[in-house]
Amino acid sequence: MAKQDYYETLGVSRTATEAEIKKAYRRMAMKYHPDRNPDNADAEEHFKEAKEAYEILADAQKRAAYDQFGHAGVDQAAGHARGSGGFSDVFGDVFNDIFGGAGGRESYRGADLRYHLDLSLEEAVAGTTEKIRIPVHVECETCDGSGAKKGTQPVTCTTCGGHGQVRMQQGFFSVQQACPHCRGTGKMIKEPCSDCHGDGQVQQHKTLSVKVPAGVDTGDRIRLTGEGEAGTGGAGPGDLYVEVQVKRHDVFTRDGSNLYCDVPVGFVTATLGGELEVPTLTGKASLKIPEGTQTGQQFRLRGKGVKSVRGGAVGDLMCRVILETPVKLSKKQKELLEQFDETLEGSRSKHSPKTSSWLDAVKQIFD
């Protein structure tokens, strides 16, 4: 069966630059990577074909031989690329190419970024869409990320011969380390790009739209794939993680799916009972106060809480009664209270059971 043209395999023209060939190879490697296509023999074959084509076209001498003599000029090298190391070698090489392994290659996935997003409780519960502006390093368009001046290309490092690593002999031991001249990239830039100064990246600001799902809480993270720092050498970008921080609310506190609030209740309402109007995140609700309600008692309004972003039933609103003592009373009001207190004489244990039991406990201590 005739072999496919290497340029067609990678989907590039015969005049493609080294950077274009490398970018095309990484795109195909990511697409047909065995880890993304388990038990897919067809994908594995495409993966090996892409690697074989890249091994030839990325090497200036092999590419020249291929351009002049076709497959006959490079069959030995191609056979070595396909067969010598087997599948495991191919698998390891693509990890080095894509993620920047120990082989001294210049390709590194971009760094992940983190952004703190402050939301009100109402926004977190209902969901919202927020615009955020972040600083990022992106691939330099002038040099296509190569770091070299437009019209030029990085050259092979003369110290390591393009391997990115050098071997040093120390007595009986042989130590391999990153090349100090090219810092492990295998390439050297003689004429740096004027825009990125050889880094291959420039800093910019970009505005993103973040869709916040309903029910998020402090500590939840929203992942925006591919919105992190740009990768080097054509590798993929990192991700952006938006961390949610819910601001303190004036009325409610949240614990999971439930909301909590303190409800001040007057002396008369707590004593005789009544009905109060209390706020919720979706409007107002009626809260019944039974006769003889004590401070600290808690009442539940079902379904008035939060539906968690992780699913489940809507939580409840827990209302805690805080008995409010009257202040700044008039003389007449004070007299009426004193008269009322006199009516309790002789029957306090009946009307104030907690006070009576507390006084009995105190009496036992001193007795």
Instruction: Please state, for a pLDDT cut of 90, what percent of the chain lies above it.
Output: 35
Cβ count within 10 A of residue 172: 5
Q: Using CA of residue 338, residue 340, residue 345, residue 350, what is the dihedral sign?
A: negative
Domain limits for position 178: 155-188
**For range 146-154, the mean pLDDT:** 84
Model confidence band, residue 284 (pLDDT cutoffs 50, 70, 90): very high
241 and 266 part of one domain: no
Q: Among the three residues 64, 82, 99, which one is the final residue of a domain in this structure? A: 99
pLDDT at 105: 44
Model confidence band, residue 111 (pLDDT cutoffs 50, 70, 90): confident
Residue 286 within a domain: yes
210 and 130 part of one domain: yes
41-57 vs 18-32: helix crossing angle, rounded to 10: 170
- Tens digit of each residue's pLDDT (9 = 90 or more) over 186-229: 888 888 898 888 888 888 888 999 999 999 999 999 999 988 88
pLDDT at 173: 64
pLDDT at 212: 95
The total domain count for the chain is 4
**For range 32-59, the mean pLDDT:** 84
Average per-residue pLDDT for the chain: 82
55 and 121 part of one domain: no
Domain with residue 229: its CATH number is: 2.60.260.20
Q: For residue 339, give both structure tokens.
A: 């008269």
pLDDT at 146: 79
264 and 323 part of one domain: yes
| Segments in the chain forming alpha helices (H) | 6-10, 18-32, 41-57, 60-69, 75-83, 86-99, 121-126, 267-272, 331-343, 348-351, 353-366
**For range 147-155, the mean pLDDT:** 85
Residue 354 within a domain: yes
- Tens digit of each residue's pLDDT (9 = 90 or more) over 298-355: 999 999 999 999 889 999 999 999 999 988 999 999 999 899 888 887 776 677 767 7
Model confidence band, residue 82 (pLDDT cutoffs 50, 70, 90): very low
pLDDT at 107: 61
**pLDDT at 91 exceeding the cut of 60:** no
Q: Among the three residues 83, 99, 115, which one is the final residue of a domain in this structure? A: 99
Contact 262/322 with Cβ under 8 angstroms? yes
Instruction: Please state, for a pLDDT cut of 70, what percent of the chain lies above it.
Output: 86
**pLDDT at 81 exceeding the cut of 80:** no
Residue 1 within a domain: no
222 and 263 part of one domain: no
pLDDT at 201: 80
Domain with residue 38: its CATH number is: 1.10.287.110
Q: How far is CA 84 from CA 63, 89, 105, 123, in A?
A: 20, 8, 21, 59
141 and 29 part of one domain: no
263 and 139 part of one domain: no
Model confidence band, residue 102 (pLDDT cutoffs 50, 70, 90): very low
118 and 91 part of one domain: no
Residue 123 within a domain: yes
Q: Among the three residues 84, 99, 114, which one is the final residue of a domain in this structure? A: 99
**For range 126-144, the mean pLDDT:** 87
Residue 241 within a domain: yes
Model confidence band, residue 97 (pLDDT cutoffs 50, 70, 90): very low
For residue 361, the Cα-to-chain-centroid distance in whole angstroms is 57
Q: How far is CA 208 from CA 133, 141, 242, in A?
A: 6, 20, 11
- Looking at per-residue pLDDT, the higher value among 276 and 89 belongs to 276
257 and 165 part of one domain: no
257 and 357 part of one domain: yes
47 and 169 part of one domain: no
Least confident stretch, 146-155, 159-168, 281-290: 159-168
231 and 128 part of one domain: yes
Using only C-alpha atoms, what is the Rg of the chain? 36
Residue 56 within a domain: yes
Residue 23 within a domain: yes
